[in-house]
Amino acid sequence: MQPLKELKRRLREEALARRDALEPQYRIEASLSVAETGAAAIACGPGDVVSGFWPIRSEIDPRPLMDTLRQKGARLCLPAILDKTTIVFRELVRGAPMVDMGFGTMGPAEDAEVLDPTIMLVPLAAFDARGHRIGYGAGYYDRAISKLHAQGLSPRLCGLAFDCQEVERVPDEPHDMIIPELLTESGLRRFAAGL
């Protein structure tokens, strides 16, 4: 049997290759479909803080959904990489400067307010039918979510991906966070806890 790390790496590479093969027009249409579904499925308003992400490479684009949630009154934030293990979520304000965060992504500058999300739109490389996800391998989101839980906060977690990123089974590791909900171009999936 392959070691878990090697198996995850292979599953990640295969899922990302399928994602990369999607036509650009299809990715745009899928992102708009996710925004429409998410607008109806994610109840939010003033007082909610939604963390999104700046899309990299062939990722699904969360910005149409983020804008829809902003129009409902939510405050938006993006992850900011502080070091090799830590991200925080800085407020995204129209017209404020954006800076390079590394990994091909952008985020608000250091003077932006740090917020604790109540709703997290979570990027991922692969997922399975149980709600287990494979990230990009650095563990930023697992640690950030654990830190929020340690502070007594329980943000609503919703992964965003294309259907083609689904794999048969993600290998379980104790530190992995299960995503209770996932939005893809075919709709919202909810996963039972403990599978």
| Helix, coil or strand: residue 99 | strand
Cα gap 124→164, rounded to integer Å: 12
Q: Check whether 135 is labelled as a binding-site residue.
A: yes
Phi, psi values for residue 88, rounded to 5°: -125, 170
Q: Check whether 9 is labelled as a binding-site residue.
A: yes
Q: Check whether 138 is labelled as a binding-site residue.
A: yes
Q: Check whether 73 is labelled as a binding-site residue.
A: no
Q: Check whether 134 is labelled as a binding-site residue.
A: yes
Q: Beta strand 87-91 with 75-81: parallel, antiparallel or unpaired?
A: antiparallel
Long-range Cβ contact pairs of 65-70 (< 8 A, separation 24 or more): 65/31, 65/34, 65/35, 65/38, 65/39, 65/121, 65/160, 65/183, 66/92, 66/121, 67/35, 68/35, 68/38, 68/39, 69/38, 69/39, 69/42, 69/44, 69/119
Q: Check whether 27 is labelled as a binding-site residue.
A: no
Q: Check whether 38 is labelled as a binding-site residue.
A: no
Q: Check whether 133 is labelled as a binding-site residue.
A: yes
Q: Check whether 10 is labelled as a binding-site residue.
A: yes
Cα Rg of the chain, angstroms: 16
Residue ranges of the annotated binding site are: 8-12, 59, 133-141
Residue ranges of the annotated binding site for substrate are: 59
Residue ranges of the annotated binding site for ATP are: 8-12, 133-141
